[in-house]
Amino acid sequence: MKSILFNAFSDEGHAARLDIALDLARCFDASLTIFSAIPYEVMIGDGLSDAAFAAMIPVWREEARKFREQTEQDLANEGVSWKWIEASPPVADAMLEHSALADLIVVGARDPRRGGKVPSHTAGELALRSNCPVLVLPEGQSRFDPTAPAMVAWDGSPEASHALKSAVPLLQQSSAVFLVSVKEKKDAKFDLPSVSGADYLSHYGIASEIVELAEGEKDVATLLQDAAVARRCGLMVMGAYGRMRFAERIFGGVTRSLLVNLKLPLLLRH
């Protein structure tokens, strides 16, 4: 993991997210690419006249310049190789263009361009469409401990398998790895058993503990997150699903629920 793409935005959580990206870059001796999009996409269709929109563009550009200068000052003594990229929105599309040679994308769980009130559409689009894993960071977290225990949400699907494989560099750093399945009453079948995931990890010298959770009164997202918190995990790994399943499970199901109240970093991979 030598190339990390980081989504920068000048909201209150930027400094904390940047600190985590720097922690990861130091851990893997990686280069950090800082991606910044001039944030006027949120205003498109919001009722601004053409003249008002045109008048705001210099303001946004000046804000972007100041943001870059401040971030560069923060990076001056971090000892991490980095470069800055600016692009026009949509953010997900622009980041995808720069992610082809990235090993990891780092984004926040909430969409700052919508006031931080909704789960990040950018995170979902990147998880579905990019060729590398996406690490989604919860609000308020300022550090990432690579040695903390990690939890892999496992349902035996190809998506879960891809997520597991992509997480190997991070899981190799973890002090413990839990392979967790939720046995839902309506569908107790998995494409691959948990032991297959454990066997795969063993090829990389990673020991894992298989855990099966019974579906109860809590929803699957809460069960998974509670299990991770109880085991003091610093990372959760989960598969992102195809277009129709993605719409249901990312924005309307388990992962959407996690992003609404995310308590620990979440690694997604399609």
Domain shared by 46 and 164, yes or no: no
For residue 22, give its domain range.
3-137
pLDDT of residue 112: 66
Domain shared by 162 and 264, yes or no: yes
Domain shared by 111 and 174, yes or no: no
Domain shared by 199 and 106, yes or no: no
**Domain contains 143:** no
Instruction: Note the pLDDT tens digit of each residue in 46-78.
Output: 556 677 767 777 887 888 899 999 999 999 989
Domain shared by 75 and 162, yes or no: no
Domain shared by 158 and 130, yes or no: no
Closest CA to 193 of 242, 239, 236, 160: 160
Domain shared by 60 and 160, yes or no: no
Domain shared by 100 and 179, yes or no: no
For residue 40, the 8-state DSSP code is T
Indicate which CATH number applies to the domain containing 225: 3.40.50.620
Domain shared by 11 and 126, yes or no: yes
Rounded to two decimals, the pTM is 0.89
Domain shared by 196 and 255, yes or no: yes
Domain shared by 36 and 96, yes or no: yes
Neighbours of 23 (CB within 10 A): 16
For residue 113, the 8-state DSSP code is G
CA 156 vs CA 6, 106, 160, 165, 269: distances in Å: 30, 25, 6, 13, 14
**Residue 165 and residue 237: Cα distance in Å, rounded?**
10
**Residue 242 and residue 200: Cα distance in Å, rounded?**
23
Instruction: Note the pLDDT tens digit of each residue in 141-175.
Output: 889 999 999 999 998 889 999 999 999 999 999 99
**Domain contains 237:** yes
Residues of the chain with pLDDT under 70: 39-49, 53, 112-118, 184-191, 241-253
